[in-house]
Amino acid sequence: MTENPAQTLVVIPTYNEIDNLRPIVQRTLSATSADVLVVDDASPDGTGELADRLAAELAPRVHVLHRTGKQGLGAAYLHAFSWALNRGYDAVVEMDADGSHSPEQLPRLLRRLDTADVVLGSRWIAEGGVVDWPLSRRLLSRGGNWYVRRALGLDVHDATGGFRAYRAQALRAVDLTGVASHGYCFQVDLVRRALVAGMRVAEVPITFRERQYGTSKMSGSIVREALWRVTVWGAASRLGRRTPSDLVGLPAARPVREAPRAA
């Protein structure tokens, strides 16, 4: 995909990320010619005010959406997708604010959009990986993705990851109005909806790093929501449910995956 600021938008949701926001925005602008949209959920630590200063300093490439409170990751992305599509962007990228996703790997995801509709940055394929994670987090992520594969029949290795790129046409083709998941299950939901819509889904390897500053948003309630929703979706597919609602069944297409580079 040919990049220029009018074509690609990197969405960075924030809640209390004041120590991380400036460096991640600056690294993103240096790594790619894309625009950046910060979506802040009324962070009490001043992240939203910092985002406004960055938008003024780095205009016209940085934009800000202010929301009235902490409404969840999924809602933030849905708001951002609508904003991007209304302004004619050709590709939209999801990326965390905490530095766990490396902006320097963005060009790899965007290049893969030449032959795919959705590109997942994958920790769990050849050449992917995680840094500074304890064994418990590794087991939780690998186990969760194994369960997603078994319950939903999704032939992807990292359906829960949040570093990914979408063609605008893919977002338009997916039924976003029925998305009800709010936490990290939102990522699984969008992958399955893309596959149901016949989109080409690819995975490319990324290295995920644990945040250096701030507090992780992962919680027990997020894990429980994901487990419950994936179980319901899997059960619905086995019962033959075929609707565009929150109980969409098995995917209609299988993804393509980037082969590892030769040694």
Contact predicate 154/148, CB 8 Å: yes
Which residues on neighbouring strands pair with residue 203, listed in sequence order?
120
Average pLDDT of the chain to the nearest whole number: 85
Instruction: Give the three-state DSSP class for 135.
Output: helix
Contact predicate 191/154, CB 8 Å: yes
Q: What is the band of 222 on the pLDDT scale with cuts at 50, 70, 90?
A: low
Q: Is the pLDDT of residue 249 over 50?
A: no
Reading the block at residue 36, the tokens are 């950046």
Between 67 and 231, residue with greater pLDDT: 67
Contact predicate 83/164, CB 8 Å: no
According to CATH, the topology of domain 8-210+217-238 is Spore Coat Polysaccharide Biosynthesis Protein SpsA; Chain A (3.90.550)
DSSP H/E element including 39? strand 35-40
Q: Is the pLDDT of residue 184 over 80?
A: no
Give the model confidence (pLDDT) of 17-37 as tens digits. 999 999 999 999 999 999 999
pLDDT at 5: 40
Instruction: Give the three-state DSSP class for 197.
Output: coil
Identify the weakest region by mean pLDDT among 3-12, 115-124, 194-203. Answer: 3-12
pLDDT at 239: 61
Identify the weakest region by mean pLDDT among 40-54, 124-138, 203-217. Answer: 203-217
Instruction: In whole angstroms, give the CA distance from residue 36 to residue 244.
Output: 31
- Show the DSSP H helices in 165-244 as ranges: 168-173, 185-196, 220-238
Instruction: Give the three-state DSSP class for 74.
Output: helix
Give the model confidence (pLDDT) of 109-149 as tens digits. 999 999 999 999 999 999 999 998 999 989 989 998 999 88
Instruction: Give the three-state DSSP class for 30.
Output: helix
- Name residues whose C-beta falls within 8 Å of residue 224's C-beta, 6 or more positions apart in sequence: none
